[in-house]
Amino acid sequence: MNRQQKILAVLGIWLWGVQAFAQTEVRLAVHGSFSLPEETIAKFERENRAKVSVIKVGSGNEMLNKLILSRTKPIADAVYGLDNANIAKAVQNGILAEKQPVSAPVNVSLPGALAVDYGYVVLNYDKKWFGQNKLPLPQSLQDLAKPAYKNLLVTPNPATSSPGLSFLMANIGGLGEEAAFKWWGEMRRNGVKVAKSWSDAYNTDFTRNGGSRPLIVSYAASPAAEVHYGKGKYTEPPTGNLFLKGGVFRQVEGAAVLKGAKQPALAVKLVSYLQSADVQQALPTEMWVYPAVKGTPLPKVFEFAQTPPKHDAPAAKEMAQKQKQWVGRWTRVVLK
């Protein structure tokens, strides 16, 4: 082989390598709260000679709506963050691949997807605020509609936020449809504030972060997160949970391969990887959720993440059939 032939051979190998690398990008659509250590993602990339592109697409329901709108030309190969309140909508709109990976043994399940984690949507309260204002904690959702609690609650919008939608499902499941919307009408008159996302509500409107609302629709693990990020400042959480009838929803989040994925084989591996020990053990202190896979140990700080004694939700079939109607009705009752 002469010098020119060697140069061409090397160039050909380089071009093949570049082309091969470009073909191994796998895209994962996620909601805005998705978080994993860089090394955890890097391990998957090394083991599979792939590049993971994480595409954050707003809050949970925003993400789902964008995936539906782009289904003829999918913006990702796989998705993480669908949950038991919106998975039926994903299935009905045909955005998920017919064949999904086999699931590891899990504590919770999600039809049409692999369960990755779960948590409880509840009401959080600011302990300091309630102590300083000498206001007793509400004992029911109905208490929140009383004058004493006027302008105290912030909730994410169920049309755009997964926890907001989950809370609405708990209201309907625990109170009944008519009573739930009657309550929301009363809450509108009592000054409930609606935020676009959980992040907006918690980081801007909640009194713990400089806002004016000492009550928030959030997660049962949030008090544990407050202790963790306090870096030794707290021996007890500065926030607490309220487990009220009609105010607790068990949210199960999962991952799935999208129909029309450019890299379906890699998407299968990536979705399965989200149930691996590396990912499952990272989830509690990254996203403050419980790992779905059986036998995954929890960090010590999760002793501050209370588990509600019960949770409410409509039947799965009813959620699938009526969710759009319910969200529309909520919007009319609360916002219009």
Same domain, 29 and 176: no
Assigned domain for 41 exists? yes
Same domain, 212 and 329: yes
Same domain, 178 and 78: no
| CB-based contacts of 262, cutoff 8 Å, min separation 6 | 27, 74, 77
Same domain, 181 and 323: yes
Could you list the pLDDT tens digit for every one of the 336 residues in the chain?
A: 555 554 444 444 444 444 444 448 999 999 988 999 999 999 999 999 999 999 999 887 889 999 999 999 999 999 999 999 889 889 999 999 999 999 999 999 999 999 999 999 999 999 999 999 999 999 999 999 999 999 999 999 999 888 999 999 999 999 999 999 999 999 999 999 999 999 999 999 999 999 999 999 999 999 999 999 998 999 999 999 999 999 999 999 999 999 999 999 999 999 999 999 999 999 999 999 999 999 999 999 999 998 999 999 999 889 888 999 999 999 999 999
Tell which residue, 220, 178, 218, has the closest CA to residue 307.
220
- pLDDT of amino acid 4: 55
Assigned domain for 4 exists? no
Domain of 184, CATH number, reads: 3.40.190.10
Same domain, 160 and 93: no
Q: Each residue of 176-194: b (16+ CB within 10 Å) or e?
A: ebeebbebbebbeebebeb
Q: Phi first, then psi: what are they for 53, rounded to 5°?
A: -105, 110
Assigned domain for 19 exists? no
Same domain, 110 and 236: no
Secondary structure class of 221 (helix, strand, coil): coil
Domain around 40: 24-118+251-304
Strands 153-156, 215-219: pairing is parallel
- Cα radius of gyration rounded to whole Å, the chain: 22
